Amino acid sequence: MSAVLGGAQSIFTCAYDEAFQIPTERNAEIALRTQQIIAFESGISKTVDPLGGSYFVEDLTDKMEQETLEVIDELDEYGGVIKAIEEGYIQSKIANRALERKKKIDSGETVVVGQNWFRRENQKNEHGETFSLDPETANRVTEKYHVLKASRDDQAVTQCLEKLEAAAITDTENVMPLLVDCCHAYATVEEMVNTLTKVWGEFQEPLGL
């Protein structure tokens, strides 16, 4: 609902267990029904801007904009986003923020219903229903993979990958159209990634957190 009130153009409601497993059908349905209740029962979709004219929302928006600009200025002063990522600056800011939030949850300053507040006596932290993968799924996918590799035009794949590698070497060209060409030739994700890794290497997360 907060996304709708904020003017989101499109919304997908994740299942609550999506953070740690493929959602079960029941949990995916709960997420869908939640979205449908908001859309068809709440009446929130019957007006273009339900919070239009709210001084409080406008004040929050102004504060968010100001704080966003401050972060952008901070990154510019540091030397740009790429440098900040390569030197672990952004990662350290995220890690520190996560630690701060964890401390507030542990102390009860930040309320998380059912986790640190309003827990039942002897309540257990259980995930509930778990997703069960059809054991034949992997076999079917593997079989399709082998059939595809055996039937595709290997010469076309090689040519597309060579063009991708050449563009990566010069590093002056948008490689996205070349990746699309590779997909049309049925190059695998692994082949495309390996081609780029051979030229650019693999990013190593800075350890100075």
Instruction: Please write the tens of the pLDDT for every residue from 51-78.
Output: 888 899 899 999 999 999 999 999 999 9
The model's pTM: 0.64
Q: What residues contact 156, with CB distance under 8 A and at least 6 apart?
A: 185
**Domain segments of the chain as ranges:** 1-52, 136-200
pLDDT exceeds 80 at position 188: yes
pLDDT of 29 over the 80 cut = yes
What pLDDT was estimated at residue 209?
54
- The predicted model gives 110-129 an average pLDDT of 86
Q: In this predicted structure, what is the pLDDT of residue 5?
A: 87
DSSP string, 66-93: HHHHHHHHHHHHHT-HHHHHHTTHHHHH
pLDDT of 208 over the 70 cut:
no
pLDDT tens figures, 157-185: 999 999 999 999 999 999 999 999 999 99
